Structure 1
Amino acid sequence: MFNEQPLAWYAVYTRAKCEKKVADLLTRKKVEHYYPVKQLVRGRKIVETPLFASYVFVHIPESRSWVVRETENVVNFVYWLEQPAIIPDHEIALIRHFLRDYEEVSVEHFPIQAGRESTSPSGGKIIQLGSSRVKVALNSLGCMLTASIPSREVRVIAGNKTANGHHY
């Protein structure tokens, strides 16, 4: 019997400023990937920039890692404890959620010293939810996402805060 490996999300490290090129090449190779970008206004233009510098995420079985490694401008997989780091599905979903629902999303790196932590519906750890900012930990990447939220979109419901209709 043919035993197929499960798909997992991996972070791939690219050469500097080559994230989009790598994403395009992965599309041609029919490799499922995610290249998170944020939009910035520069003068009169809206410019897309990578949320994670030099990172593209791929969704593959481990046995297909050679296809990614052979892609031009890919340096290597991001490693943790001598193995390619696996990014949980809920963290990829959280990145997508933040980029879809918030403006001014940025990445901050650990260490974080947080008092009270709670879990969001998508599985990320809420570090801070204030009147104008929300911060969520992405433990597998050693960083957190920070987003600005208008205070009119934050309200307290029975001791829990919500932003953009999502309970935290």
Structure 2
Amino acid sequence: MSGSLNRRLAWEDVQDGEFCWYALETRHRCEKKVVQQLTRLGVETFLPELIEIHRWSDRKKTVTIPLFAGYAFVKLDRSRASRLRVLQTPGVIGFVSSQGKAAPVPAEQVEHLRKLLRENVPCSLHAFLRAGQRVRVRGGCLDGVEGIYVDADSKKLIVSIDCLQRSVAVRVEGYELELV
């Protein structure tokens, strides 16, 4: 499945008996409990986690938190029995779906995420940005500047001056962007 990183898998792409990864929505702060229960049932799971240091005035504590709050991954075949076993697990809200059907997650994406976490590459969550979306720069000398996100390759933001009908492209590599 090379090239599947840039396209979404659909329910119809998965053959009967083939195992695929699915994203699972869980109740708030129930990710670890859900994963433990599913693992006991023999379901392959993956809960990406980050290690953070929380500081208080009198102490520091290292805590492990889910990378995607409220979500975990499960590897299942597409049988009704497998899905029901997962859905009946306490704390599970449902599968992340597309057009009413559980949306498979490409195995390469799960493996890349595992590799990042295994190698302890510093990472943090960012908004999922697509070309053409309106964004705002957070932090640095461009803090608060809004514009249209061009694409990840060029790392450019288009800032438009509407009344002049002119635009300026700015490199935003290294800046944090948020959706407006």
TM range (shorter): 0.5 to 0.7
Change (3 A) 1:28 1:115: closer
Q: Which residue of 1 aligns with 2:119?
A: 101
Q: Which residue of 2 aligns with 1:62?
A: 78
Q: Which residue of 1 aligns with 2:61?
A: 45
2: CA distance, partners of 1:109 / 1:18 = 23
Change (3 A) 1:45 1:77: same
TM-score by length of 2: 0.60
More strand by share: 1
Give structure 2 stretches of 5+ with no counterpart: 1-14, 132-150, 155-172, 176-180
User: For 2:73, what is the secondary structure of its paired residue?
Assistant: strand
Q: Which residue of 2 aligns with 1:89?
A: 107
Q: Which residue of 2 aligns with 1:136?
A: none
Q: Which amino acid counterpart does residue 74 of structure 2 have in structure 1?
A: V
User: For 1:41, what is the secondary structure of its paired residue?
Assistant: strand
Q: Which residue of 2 aligns with 1:126?
A: none
2: CA distance, partners of 1:104 / 1:40 = 11
Deviations 1:115-157 (A, max 9, x none): 538xxxxxxxxxxxx6x79xxxxxxxxxxxxxxxxxxxxxxxx
2: CA distance, partners of 1:36 / 1:92 = 9
TM-fit CA distance, 1:109: 2.6
Deviations 1:76-98 (A, max 9, x none): 11111221010000000111111
Q: Is 1:77 matched with 2:95? A: yes
* Higher Rg of the two aligned structures: 2
Q: Which amino acid counterpart does residue 33 of structure 2 have in structure 1?
A: K
2: CA distance, partners of 1:97 / 1:41 = 22
TM-score by length of 1: 0.64
CA RMSD in angstroms, aligned pairs only: 2.1
Q: Percent identity?
A: 32
Q: Which amino acid counterpart does residue 44 of structure 2 have in structure 1?
A: E
Q: Following TM superposition, where does structure 1 have runs of at least 4 consecutive aligned residues deviating by more than 6 angstroms?
A: none
2: CA distance, partners of 1:115 / 1:52 = 21
User: For 1:16, what is the secondary structure of its paired residue?
Assistant: coil
TM-fit CA distance, 1:39: 0.3
Q: Which amino acid counterpart does residue 70 of structure 2 have in structure 1?
A: S
Q: Is 1:26 matched with 2:42? A: no
2: CA distance, partners of 1:94 / 1:48 = 20
Q: Which residue of 2 aligns with 1:116?
A: 153
TM-fit CA distance, 1:36: 0.6
TM-fit CA distance, 1:103: 4.2
2: CA distance, partners of 1:84 / 1:60 = 11
2: CA distance, partners of 1:115 / 1:41 = 30
Q: Which amino acid counterpart does residue 108 of structure 1 have in structure 2?
A: H
